[in-house]
Amino acid sequence: MSEFPRYNFKLKEFSAGEWNVNGGGSRFTAGTRKPIDLARKLPLIREAGAKWLEFHDTELPAEEAKEFKKVIDGEGMKTGMVTANLFRRAEFIHGAYDSPDPKTRRMAIDLTKKYLEMGINVLGAQVYVYWVGTAGFDMEFAKDHVKHLGYIVAALNEVVGWALEQFGEEKMIPICFEPKPNEPRRWMYGGTVGDALALIYAMDPKYAKYVGLNPETAHSKMAGLNYNLDLSQGLLHGKLWHVHLNDQSGPAFDQDYAFGDCDLMGAFATVYTLKKHKYKGLVGVDVQPLGTDREDQYAVTIKRSLDTFRRLLKCCDRIHDKDLEALQKKSDQAGIMELIRDAMLAV
């Protein structure tokens, strides 16, 4: 059972990625709102209810972070998560940590170190996230999977070992593995929570203790998995150190809908799971505005997500754990559904 993270956040401490506020558009549609610069996004995120921010290095380059920290401070906000973008750059078309090109693997590791150092020393970030990005393959025989999975393990070992030498255990922050089953790759390395745990436990044990999980709702549902089971796996192993909440209509492309927009029952189970098992990390949202949102609605997807979370948290207070446990013991699923319905609807 890992106990590395030293933070202890309340379930009302929210973080949001700056990319959650944007001009709309997709691979198939043009933008529907005017682009908005980074500084103008901050008050919108704060007013939506998130005090903590999340950044990629392509949105806030390390060289600009010290100056931009003044803007963050001026808004009364803090940095929750940072991550190097290991997918958007052209060099990573065949993978980053897992690339067949050693120069590309080195580039990915060096970008990680650079942004992790900035996150710790400049922004005071709480966690660093490794999202699998382009790690994986599209066609059979494209890669020797044993070799390329090993590259990812070696990269994580190197990053953690380097960070401990640079900052020591006292300044070290958790590195969280964010799984995703597909998109942009047909198959992704570290595609599920189980896959991610397997790679973490393949690491050198003295470094694996510093690597945990950042499961995302939509990523689990893309694979037809139950997100709350994924959360529970992380909790069981003591590795649930950050979360990205959103929603997904089912196995499809990564939709990033507002939390609770598609599956309110699943969202309720998420909140209940985090509350009952005393999750201590930040509650992060990773959502995209709807294409129909207007320019006065840049951050409504964030706000709706957080409002839904808070309301479901109140619904949790209507569940008496002993009553639920008694029904579970009898395997009375009809009774359980009535109890949950009454807690959600309260009418």
- pLDDT of 163-215, one tens digit each? 999 999 999 999 999 999 999 999 999 999 999 999 999 999 999 999 999 99
Per mean pLDDT, which range of 9-13, 113-117, 132-136, 284-288 is the poorest?
9-13
| Mean pLDDT, residues 29-45 | 93
The yes-or-no verdict on residue 347 having pLDDT over 70 is no
| Mean pLDDT, residues 143-153 | 98
- pLDDT of 207-222, one tens digit each? 999 999 999 999 999 9
Burial of 90-125, coded b for 16+ CB within 10 Å and e otherwise, reads ebbebbbbbbeeeebbebbbebbbebbebbbebbeb
> Burial, 212: exposed, middle or buried (Cβ in 10 Å; 0-12, 13-18, 19+)?
buried
Name all domains of the chain by residue range, CATH numbers in brackets.
Answer: 14-316 (3.20.20.150), 317-347 (no CATH)
The yes-or-no verdict on residue 288 having pLDDT over 60 is yes
- pLDDT of 2-12, one tens digit each? 578 989 999 99
